[in-house]
Amino acid sequence: MLIRKILEVMAVLGDVARIIEELVSAHPYILLGVDYRGRVIYQSNEGGFNSIWVLDPSTGVRRRVSKEPILWTTMVSDKRSRIVFTRDVSRGRELQVLGYIDFSRDEEFVYGSMKPLRIFGLADDGERIAFTGATETGVSIYLARGDEVSELHRLDALAFVSDIRGGVVVGSGHLRRDPLSTEIFIYNIDSGDLRIYTPKEGSTNQYPIILGDGKILFTTNAFDGKNMLVLLDPETKEITRLFFEKKDLEKYDPVEYIFYREYGKDLFVIGKREGRSRLFVNGELIDTPMGMVLSAYPYENKIFFTYTSIMKPPRIMLREDGVVREVIGSRFSRDIEERFGSIEFRYIESIDKLRIPIYVIRSNYYDKTRSAVVYIHGGPWSEVGDSWSILIASLVASGFNVVAPNFRGSTGYGEEFRKLDIGDPGGGDLLDIEASAKFALENGLGERLFVMGYSYGGFMTLWTMFNRPDLFECGVAGASVADWEEMYELSDAVFRSFIDTLFAYKKDLLRDRSPIHKAESLRKPLCIIHPQNDTRTPLKPVMRLINKLMESGKVFEAHIVPDMGHVISSIDDAVKILLPALLFLSRCVKESKK
C-alpha cells in the first residue's frame, strides 16, 4: 500500500516537473530595438536569467551582452548607440543601480557608486538618463549624466518618468494627490522648473513623450471620457487631438494606447482593445498576427515587433515587403502544444449586474482533472489579455480549464472601469470573482473549482477563500497581501503612495480589507507561496497569517521561497512558484474525487 502511494506521488511529481521544465524552457524574446549596425537588441531569460542580447540578422549569430541579471530596460536610444538597464543588487528587494550597454564596444557600464534605489520610469536620450527613484522617505526625479547620478526634484507622489529630450523630462502620476486623476509633469533640467499640467481637473493623463518639434504627445480622457492621443504645445498650452491622414487607427478606436514612439518622420502607435492589440504607422494598420503586439522598431524598410498570445511566449517578428516572419521565438513539444485548447473572450454579468470581461482558456487535457481554475491577475491595474502568462499556461497544460476575469479595476476597458476598484479593493471585485465561479459551473467548465492568483491576485485569493469559504475547493495565493496596515508600515515611499491611491486615502479601510482578520473563516485547503525578499508584499504579515491559521487548526501549506523578490525574473523563480502550486492543485483534484 505504501509503495503504491509512493509510486503515485512520483508519477504526479514527474508529470508536473516535465510540464514546468518545458514551459520555463520556452524563453520569451522581447524586442528592445535595433542598433546603429542593424543588430536586433532584445531581452530574454535564455541562459537562466533576465538579460540583454544582440542578434545579427545577416548571420543569425546572437550573444548575451549584459554580464549579470537585469531588472528593467529602456528601448534602444534614438541614436541607436546604447540601451539602459537597471540591476537589482539586493537579492530581489528591488534596490537597483543603473547601467547601460555601449553598442560601439558591446561593453557594460554600471553606475556602481550610486546609492541603490527602487527605480521605475526610465528614459534615455542617448546622453542623459532620467528616471524616477524611491527611497523609504520619498520619490524623486533623478538624472544620470557622464558617470554621475544626481537627484533633480522631489515629487513625493506615485509618478513615473516617461521621456527625456532637449533638456526636458516628462512623466505622469497622481501629482495632485487625487486618486481618481493623473497629471502630466514637465521638468526643465537647466532651470529646475517643474510644471504640472492637466487639460481638465479630475481627468487621467498618462505616458507623455516629446516629439521632434517639441510638442508633447500623451494619452488623456479629458474630453469625452475615452482615452485619446493628444498633442500639447508646452509654450502656448494649446492642445489638439492627434489625427492622421490614414484613418485605420481612428476606425479601430482603441480603448488604450500601450506604445507610441516617433521614429524620424513616422509615428508608431500600438492600440489595444479587449485584450488584443494592433500596430499602426502614421495611422495605417500594419498586418500582424492576432494576439498582442507589445513593441515595434523600424530599420531601413523593415519593421521588427514583439508578438505574443496566450499560447505563445513573446517572440520577435519581422515585417518586410508586406510579409511577416519570425526572427526568434520558442517552440513547445507536440504533447504540450496539443494540450492548449480554445480561447474565448466574452462578457459576463457580475453579481451586481456590472458587465465584466473574461477570457476562457480550455485545456484539451481536461479529462485528467475535470476541474477549472479561476485565475485572478495581479495589479490590480493590469489585465489578462491574449498574451503569454506562464501561470495560466501551466494550469492549462496540467489539464485545468481557466476562467480569467478582468474584474473591476482592471486596465484595458477604459478609465471609468479601472477606477471602480479605487477606494473599494476587495469589495466589488470580490463580486466579480464570485460571478466568474458561477459562470464556470453553469457552463460546464469544471466539476470542481479552484482559485489561484499572484500579488494582488494572491490577496484576492485569500480574500475570496475567507469571505466566500464554500466557493472554491482549494486556493493558491502567491506573493499575497495579508495585512494592508502592516504592509503600509513596511513599504517605501512609492508603495505607500500606491496603497494611499488604491484605498483613496481611506485609512480605516486598510484593516477592514485585510485577510488576516478573516482567517478563522477558512474552510477549504489553502496553499501559500511567498518570496522571502519581497518588498512589495512583505513576508512578515504573511508569517503572522500563517501562525494564525496554524493556531486555528486550518488545513493549509506554506512555501517560503528563499532569496527571491516579488518579480518572477528568472527560470529558477518560475520553478519555485509553479512546482508547489501545481503539486498542491494535483492533490486537490485527487482529494475532491474522493
The residues, ordered by sequence, that sit 6+ positions from 191 with a Cβ below 8 Å of its Cβ are: none
Assigned domain for 495 exists: yes
Structural domain count of the chain:
2
Please name the residue that has the C-alpha cell 494550469: 395
Tell me which of 51, 455, 480, 569 is the catalytic residue: 455
Helices (H), 371-492: 390-397, 415-418, 428-442, 456-467, 484-490
Assigned domain for 546 exists: yes
Tell me which of 174, 377, 530, 566 is the catalytic residue: 566
Q: For the domain that residue 346 is a member of, what is the CATH number?
A: 3.40.50.1820
Assigned domain for 360 exists: yes
Distance CA 345, CA 364 (A): 18
Looking at the fold, whether 497 and 544 belong to one and the same domain comes out as yes
Looking at the fold, whether 479 and 346 belong to one and the same domain comes out as yes
Assigned domain for 523 exists: yes
Tell me which of 124, 386, 500, 534 is the catalytic residue: 534
Range of the domain at 530: 342-593
Assigned domain for 398 exists: yes
Grid coordinates given for 180: 481618481
Looking at the fold, whether 572 and 444 belong to one and the same domain comes out as yes
Question: What pLDDT was estimated at residue 3?
Answer: 56
Looking at the fold, whether 307 and 374 belong to one and the same domain comes out as no
Looking at the fold, whether 570 and 461 belong to one and the same domain comes out as yes
Q: Is 410 a catalytic residue?
A: no
Question: What pLDDT was estimated at residue 592?
Answer: 81
Looking at the fold, whether 533 and 458 belong to one and the same domain comes out as yes
Question: What pLDDT was estimated at residue 4?
Answer: 57
Classify residue 136 by burial, with Cβ atoms within 10 Å: 0-12, 13-18, 19+.
exposed
Q: Is 534 a catalytic residue?
A: yes
The full 3-state SS of 7-65, as one line of letters, equals HHHHHHHHHHHHHHHHHHHCCCEEEEEECCCCCEEEEECCCCECEEEEECCCCCCEEEC
Of the candidates 11, 17, 5, the one whose C-alpha atom is nearest the C-alpha of residue 574 is 17
Assigned domain for 112 exists: no
β-pairing verdict for 194-197 and 228-232? unpaired
Q: Is 27 a catalytic residue?
A: no
Last residue of a domain, one of 262, 293, 322: 322
Question: What pLDDT was estimated at residue 298?
Answer: 97
Assigned domain for 318 exists: yes
Looking at the fold, whether 395 and 267 belong to one and the same domain comes out as no
Looking at the fold, whether 271 and 420 belong to one and the same domain comes out as no
Question: What pLDDT was estimated at residue 13?
Answer: 79
Give the DSSP H/E element, type plus range, for residue 496: helix 493-502
Looking at the fold, whether 575 and 501 belong to one and the same domain comes out as yes
Please name the residue that has the C-alpha cell 487621467: 204
b (16+ CB within 10 A) / e for 73-87: bbbbbbebbbbbbbb
CB-CB contact of 419 with 225 (8 Å): no
Give the DSSP H/E element, type plus range, for residue 152: strand 148-154
DSSP 8-state symbol, 584: H
Looking at the fold, whether 422 and 504 belong to one and the same domain comes out as yes
Assigned domain for 197 exists: no
Looking at the fold, whether 300 and 398 belong to one and the same domain comes out as no
Spell out the per-residue pLDDT of the chain, length 594, in tens: 555 555 455 566 788 999 999 999 999 999 999 999 999 999 999 999 999 999 999 899 999 999 999 999 999 999 999 999 999 999 999 999 999 999 999 999 999 899 999 999 999 999 999 999 999 999 999 999 999 999 999 998 899 999 999 999 999 999 999 999 999 999 999 999 999 999 999 999 999 999 999 999 999 999 999 999 999 999 999 999 999 999 999 999 999 999 999 999 999 999 999 999 999 999 999 999 999 999 999 999 999 999 999 999 999 999 999 999 999 999 999 999 999 999 999 999 999 999 999 999 999 999 999 999 999 999 999 999 999 999 999 999 999 999 999 999 999 999 999 999 999 999 999 999 999 999 999 999 999 999 999 999 999 999 999 999 999 999 999 999 999 999 999 999 999 999 999 999 999 999 999 999 999 999 999 999 999 999 999 999 999 999 999 999 999 999 999 999 999 989 999 999 999 999 999 999 998 876
Question: What pLDDT was estimated at residue 70?
Answer: 97
Looking at the fold, whether 396 and 499 belong to one and the same domain comes out as yes
In this prediction the pTM is 0.96
Last residue of a domain, one of 322, 354, 384: 322
Distance CA 414, CA 399 (A): 33
